Structure 1
Amino acid sequence: MPRTAAAALRERPQAKVLIIGGGINGVGTFRDLALQGVDVALVERGDYCQGASGASSHMIHGGIRYLENGEFRLVRESVVERNRLLRIAPHYVKPLQTTIPIFSTFSGVLSAPLRFLTHKQQGKPKERGAFLIKLGLSMYDSFSRDGGTVPRHQFRGRKRALAELPRLHPGIKYAATYFDASVHNPERLTLDVLQDGEKAGQVNAGTAGSTARASNYVSLQSMGPAAPAGNRNSSGSTVQLRDELTGELFDFTADIIVNTTGAWVDLTNEAMGAASRFMGGTKGSHIVLDHPQLLEACNGREIFFEHTDGRIVLIYPMGDRVLVGTTDVDADISQDAVCTDGEIDYFLELIGHVFPDIPVDRGQIVYTFSGVRPLPRHDETQPGFVSRDYRIERRAGGTGSVVFSLVGGKWTTFRALAEHLANDVLSELGMERKVSTATMAIGGGAGFPANEAGVQSWIKAHVSADRGADRTALLLTRYGTRAEEVISFLDDGPDQLLRSTRELSIRELEYMARHEQVGHLADVLIRRTSLAFRGLVTGELLNEVTEVLAGPLGWDAAAQAQEIHDAEEVLGRLHRVQVHSLVA
């Protein structure tokens, strides 16, 4: 099958705007610009949501801990955007009840102002007591009073707290409970945002002559001035791109370049001939546990607390697994981000801090992941105090194009950030905003059932003789209401579930290959499904999925063997998952 996404860029190698970087912020900006009728293209050197966007704590949150850094604007924006995403992306973004175990009443009252003023930890960390946490949660609630969609916080004394969560450390004095939100499928939400942009481009192509084209596995190689060509002027710049799946090099011309490559912004600018020193990312790692006892102890809640080193950490259930994170250490972006033995020791220790009678060991870890946060350069500021806010750097390129570089940015605020970045681009182009994305449903969030009764009604309406309620429910969970389009594809030919898992069928894999820009076997295991995340990848699954994908993706026997080898290597090296195929 031809590489239609990259081919569309090669066939028309120019656009008004080229976005480099396919994480959530780049994809969000792509969608926003496409909806405004801008001729926009996006390239991503790996798979969409493969970097920091896919290595997040899977939370959509206001960032209560940022209050201590004085980032009130960011917290307010984050709370507003959290509430918006609960409404416009209800298929993936869900309310998350969060409990903070508290071991003292007034601890930290004297040290907190120093942390606020200096952004440094002075001496041995002083844990935050009930007084400080109550103050922070009250302020947090105030940011949500306009358009709030989650309940206000509650405080519990020790007795009531242990009645609700009996496995908590018996030494707690209080427990504070509030609501944020989680995103269990960040990779699929990113795909939904991307496809919204592509569809907007298809509509505009017939009316305004603009398009929205995006391709993963296309990397930036270099940049130079645009050569005059036909009816184009030479005010823009030409970048050399490389199709990472075929090795083919080709030129692409744009008037505006938007650099949303996260922690690699400086390296991207360097490749374009204008080195910068904007970034100073930190690494965050997580582990995923198959631990029914710990899962039950959480009682459906995130446990969010301060560890003994002053680091804010979390434990929370994700379906049938438990996610534990995260670290915050300076990163070397020349090396792959991986979860180290020391970080695993740290996670096992922090679990014991709040659930002392629940044994946890390495054998219960089914997946690990790490990413580099796209934080600004912070010199002497300690990682935990580095601003999580974002800014946009503009440079009039010496080669012709205007270049916008995004410094910072977090999952929760991607829609607002994309709006801000898109507005800057529109201003540069002399265009006006046509539509707002503030209330616009994302992908399969459109028409998503509002409650459990609605979910069951939707499932009942879409079951068939060959597709039971469990399979239909899984499709709704995976795609939101876009599952109707997927079901139509499944029903348009003979289909059957894979032998190795009941969570995928032959035609669903063909759908992913044809409509979701699958480039490698690992894309399906890690980002199109949650099979790797939940520790469900087997040798049989590797072989079977590869065999099905081979047809639509044009893999011969050698390519299939290479895909299996590469998937095993990625899972082992980056995620500590040891899987061996059944083929010698």
Structure 2
Amino acid sequence: MNTETSNTAAVRSDVQAILDRPTAQVLVIGGGINGVGTFRDLALQGVDVILVERSDFISGASAASSHMIHGGVRYLENGEFRLVRESVQERNRLLRLAPHYVKPLPTTIPIFSTFSGILSAPLRLLTHKQAGKPKERGALLIKLGLTGYDSFSRDGGTVPRHEFKGHKKSMAKFPKLRDSVKYTARYYDAAVENPERLALDIVGDGRVAGSGGKARSVNYVEAIGSSAEGVVLRDTVSGTEFTVKADVIVNTSGPWTDLTNIALGKSTSFMGGTKGSHIVLNNQELHDACAGGEIFFENNDGRIVLIYPLNGRVLVGTTDIEADPSEPSVTTEEEVDYFFELVSHVFPTIAVDRSQIVYRYSGIRPLPKHDDTAPGFVSRDYRIEQTVFAGDKKTPVLSLVGGKWTTWRALAEHLTNETLGLLGTTRTTSTENLQIGGGVGFPTTTSATEAWVAEHSGALSKARTAQLLKRYGTKAAEVIAYIAEHSDDAALVSLPEYSTAEIDFLVNTEYVVHLTDVVLRRTIVAFTGGLTQPVFDELAGLIGSHLSWSAEQLAAEKTLAVETLDFFHGLVLEAGTAGGGTPEAAQQESFTPAK
């Protein structure tokens, strides 16, 4: 990977902190959701830990999710009962621990038959194969599945039990549904409205827990090799190469786990990921037709897909296609056609077309190697593999195989416990009831919200304070203090829901290196279709000014961002100035493995 915009860039403070002391008890390689979760958990145990991520935090597979925290009702069909139980427990837990970003999600399954699929289901369970043309899952089979799902979901009434409605009541609530619907089943999972921001909270929690230099994290640093002295790393911003010695190495590179191991001198073949793509539509009719919840159903090919109102838009996904992690993952036009077809499958009178797409994205799931098992039947569970570091032939390397957003906390707990065992120590702090970032003290009732806003408004209006609370949880108090200190809350000309001081806060406190970090992950402006040319230009100017970019650096950043946004997300913008950046660099920003 090479995301450099200058070969003479100064060494960043987070990199310098590692250069000053290039040793740790644990080196975690990979800053996706499972890597940052493990970093946080280790830091909470008092472990001296370093986390490195070759691109931005949460920019690879973890940035390509369906924005759901869910138990995986369909995993019951694969016989993954342990995973379902853990997933629903973690869903319920995250609703409590991260209420600022994780919200209950009513989910509706439209059902078009009564008994279909009941005979083929045991075959799928026993063989993980589909014989002949997929059999549509009928009401009886779905009823059995949801009844079992409810039994796993019991947790003090965190979410309601499922319910069935017949044709008449179903059409009354969802009048745009295909008229041949016989029933609808409704159950609850959870949505994570802004997963990248939740992950930044997790990183921040880890750094606070290990304050004083025991927990160090840095983005845009890649693992490129091994030596007897340790893991060879490279800062892709300055080009600086250095070595870190650790007692345990933890590889949480997701779908690139094998490629990271190869870079470290050990060939493994643990992974076999599949590609999942999504599109985001600006279609108010489709948004309203979902009646405030997700539509989750079986498409004509037997694939489970979703239509999901999110942040004022509609998310449509997802595919499940064999993928090569050495190649960039992008949403193809064939996949777009597939998404339009699945919308018409349940909402035949609602027109969708390419002009309504405001954003598209794709990623590779970190699934285990699965040989001839069909993608839809590959286990979504995880395991931990132990090998030995090639550099010194003795340091243990733990490689994570699998994992998903919903189970990140439990997975991090398991990975941390194994690491602690190798270090000869034990857990001192549980994360089971530890609130996350802006979820600490987050008000969950109208009266509590009003009280929080009244207490923290200060010089800001109550409306502005409420906006910041919704955006950052109770960490909004830090944003408000920053704004007060800098006496500047002027709204952006092109994006009035943000201010200059707020953007400065993000750049100053949230490890921003590139322009894409802000437009893709520190904010949701690109995801919702709000990244117009004026917004792009104004944000680039503000970020460049804060980071003291030269005119040449600013031009290079804008060019790199334009190429990245076009190639990966279908957003067409103009850099406006000549400068560096290449299509290859754009492709490498989040998805190319370490060499």
TM-score by length of 2: 0.93
Q: Which of residues 40, 46, 66 in structure 1 aligns to 2:55?
A: 46
Question: 2:386 is matched with which residue: 377, 390, 394?
Answer: 394
The answer (yes or no) to whether the contact 1:165–1:298 under 8 Å persists in 2 is: yes
Please give the root-mean-square deviation of Cα atoms over the aligned residues, in Å: 1.3
CA distance in 1, matches of 2:115, 2:462: 52
Q: State the one-letter code of the partner of 1:289.
A: L
The Cα shift of 1:512 comes to: 1.2
How far did residue 9 of structure 1 move?
1.1
Letter in 2 for 1:333: P
Worse-matched range after superposition: 73-82 or 138-147 = 138-147
1:455 offset after TM fit, Å?
2.4
Displacement of 1:468? 3.2
Please say if 1:376 is aligned against 2:368: yes
Q: Is residue 294 of structure 2 the alignment partner of residue 302 of structure 1?
A: yes
Q: What is the Cα deviation at residue 148 of structure 1? A: 4.2
Indicate if the aligned counterparts of 1:572 and 1:578 stay in contact, CA closer than 8 A.
Answer: yes
Rounded Cα–Cα distance in structure 2 between residues aligned with 1:563 and 1:479 = 26
> Greater CA deviation, 538-547 or 275-284?
538-547
Q: Please state how far the C-alpha of 1:56 moved relative to its aligned partner.
A: 0.2
Partner Cα distance (1:148, 1:282) in 2: 35
Pair 1:183-2:186 in alignment: no
Is 1:550 matched up with 2:544? yes
> How far 1:141 moved relative to its partner?
0.3
In the alignment, does 2:215 pair up with 1:215? no
The CA deviation at 1:464 is 4.9
Matched AA of 2:141: L
Separation in structure 2 between the aligned mates of residue 472 and residue 583 of structure 1, nearest angstrom = 37
The answer to whether 1:110 aligns with 2:119 is yes
Are residues 1:292 and 2:284 paired? yes
Question: What is residue 462 of structure 1 aligned with on the other side?
Answer: 456
TM-fit CA distance, 1:497:
1.4
Whether the aligned pair in 1 keeps the contact of 2:58 and 2:199 (CA below 8 Å) is yes
1:93 aligns with 2:102: yes
- Of residues 258, 266, 269, the one that matches 2:250 is 258
Q: Does 1:520 align with 2:514?
A: yes
Pairs within 5 Å for 1:130-149: 130-149=139-158
Query: What is residue 472 of structure 1 aligned with on the other side?
Result: 465
CA contact (8 A) 2:92 2:155 kept: no
Residue 350 (structure 1) aligned with residue 334 (structure 2): no
Q: Is this contact kept in 2: 1:540–1:582, CA < 8 A?
A: no
Aligned amino acid, residue 452 of structure 2: W
Equivalent residues of 2:311, 2:528 under 8 A apart: no
Q: Which residue of 2 aligns with 1:125?
A: 134
User: Could you tell me which amino acid in structure 1 is paired with residue 265 of structure 2?
Assistant: G
Instruction: Give the 5 Å matches for 1:312-331.
Output: 312-331=304-323
Q: Which whole-Å deviations, capped at 9, do the CAs of 1:83-113 have from their partners, x for residues lacking one?
A: 0000000000000000000000000011111
User: C-alpha deviations, 1:347-372, integer Å up to 9, x for none?
Assistant: 00100111111111110000000010
1:433 to 423, 427, 447: 427
Q: Alpha-carbon deviations, 1:502-546, whole Å to 9, x = none? A: 122111121111110001001100000000001111222222112
Secondary structure of the structure 1 residue equivalent to 2:485: coil
Residues in 2 aligned to 1:338 and 1:474: alpha-carbon distance in whole angstroms: 33
In the alignment, structure 1 residue 332 sits paired with structure 2 residue 324: yes
What one-letter code is carried by the residue in structure 1 that aligns with 2:349? D
Bigger drift between 336-345 and 467-476 goes to 467-476
Of residues 488, 492, 510, the one that matches 1:498 is: 492
Which shows bigger deviation, 498-507 or 83-92? Answer: 498-507
Does the 8 Å CA contact 1:83/1:148 hold for their aligned counterparts?
A: no
Q: How many angstroms does 1:583 deviate by?
A: 5.2
Q: Does the residue aligned with 1:357 lie in a helix, a strand or coil? A: coil
Measured after TM superposition, the shift of residue 10 of structure 1 is 1.3
Aligned partner of 2:353 among 361, 368, 377:
361
Distance 1:582 1:246 in 2: 25
| Offset, 1:582 | 5.0
Does the residue aligned with 1:491 lie in a helix, a strand or coil?
A: helix
- Aligned to 1:170, the other structure's residue is in SS state coil
Q: How does 1:408-423 map to 2 (within 5 A)?
A: 408-423=402-417
Instruction: Give the match for residue 591 of structure 2.
Output: none
**How far 1:454 moved relative to its partner?**
2.4
Residue 539 of structure 1 contacts residue 582 of structure 1 at CA under 8 Å; is this kept in 2? no
Q: Following the alignment from structure 2 to structure 1, what is the Cα–Cα distance between the partners of residues 448 and 146?
A: 33
Matched with 2:275 is: 283
Question: Which string of whole-angstrom CA distances, capped at 9 and with x for unpartnered residues, describes residues 441-494 of structure 1?
Answer: 0000000012233223323433355x3344323311221100001110011113
- Equivalent residue, structure 1, for 2:588: none
After TM superposition, give the deviation of residue 73 of structure 1 in Å. 0.1
Preserved contact between residue 78 and residue 412 of structure 1 (Cα < 8 Å): yes
Please tell me whether the aligned partners of residues 538 and 580 of structure 1 are also in contact (alpha carbons under 8 angstroms): no
Structure 2 equivalent of residue 231 of structure 1 = none
Q: Secondary structure at the match of 2:248?
A: strand
- How far residue 581 of structure 1 moved from its aligned partner, in angstroms, is 4.4
Change beyond 3 A, Cα 1:583–1:541: farther
Q: Distance in 2 between matches of 1:539 and 1:239?
A: 42
Q: Contact between 1:96 and 1:182, CA under 8 Å: does it hold in 2? A: yes
Please state how far the C-alpha of 1:21 moved relative to its aligned partner: 0.1
1:449 equivalent to 2:458? Answer no
**Per-residue deviation, residues 228-274 of structure 1 (Å, max 9, x unmatched):** xxxxxxxxxx1111101111111111111000000000011111111
Tell me the distance in 1 between the aligned counterparts of 2:238 and 2:507.
Answer: 17
1:332-360 CA distance string (max 9 Å, x none): 11211100000000000100111111111
Matched letter for residue 577 of structure 1: L
Q: Separation in 2 of the partners of 1:384 and 1:561?
A: 43
Matched, 1:424 2:418: yes
| Conservation of the 8 A alpha-carbon contact between 1:393 and 1:406 | yes
Q: Secondary structure at the match of 2:257?
A: helix
Query: How do residues 20-31 of structure 1 correspond to structure 2 at under 5 angstroms?
Result: 20-31=29-40
The Cα shift of 1:319 comes to: 2.1
1:171 is the counterpart of 2:163: no
Match in the other structure for 1:230: none
Residues 540 and 581 in structure 1, CA contact (< 8 A), matched pair in contact too: no
Alignment of 1:552-571 (within 5 A): 552-571=546-565
Q: Which residue identity does 2:346 align to in structure 1?
A: V
Change (3 A) 1:292 1:442: same
Separation in structure 2 between the aligned mates of residue 538 and residue 441 of structure 1, nearest angstrom: 36
Distance 2:216 2:311 in 1: 34
- Residue 548 of structure 2 aligns with an amino acid whose one-letter code is G
The 2-side partners of 1:105 and 1:303 are apart by: 19
Deviation for aligned residue 1:165: 1.2
CA distance in 2, matches of 1:361, 1:459: 41
User: Match of 1:502, as an amino acid?
Assistant: P
Distance 1:546-1:364 versus aligned 2 partners, 3 A rule: same
CA contact (8 A) 1:287 1:323 kept: yes
SS at match of 1:112: helix
Q: Distance in 2 between matches of 1:44 and 1:583?
A: 29
The aligned residue for residue 229 of structure 1 is: none
> Partners of 2:335 and 2:12 in 1: how far apart?
40
Distance 2:522 2:181 in 1: 41
Pairing 1:232-271 to 2, within 5 Å after superposition: 238-271=230-263
1:235 is aligned to none
Which residue in 1 is equivalent to 2:165?
A: 156
2:210 is paired with a residue whose SS is: helix
Q: 1:485 aligns with which of 471, 478, 502?
A: 478
Partner of residue 534, structure 1: 528
CA contact (8 A) 2:555 2:575 kept: no
Deviation, 1:167, is 1.1
Taking structure 1 as the reference length, what is the TM-score of the superposition?
Answer: 0.95
In the alignment, structure 2 segments of 5+ residues that lack a partner are 1-9, 579-595
**Partners of 1:582 and 1:460 in 2: CA distance:** 43
1:295-342 per-residue CA deviation (whole Å, 9 max, x = no partner) reads 111111100000000000000110210000000000011211100000
Question: Does structure 2 retain, via aligned residues, the 8 Å contact 1:17–1:257?
Answer: yes
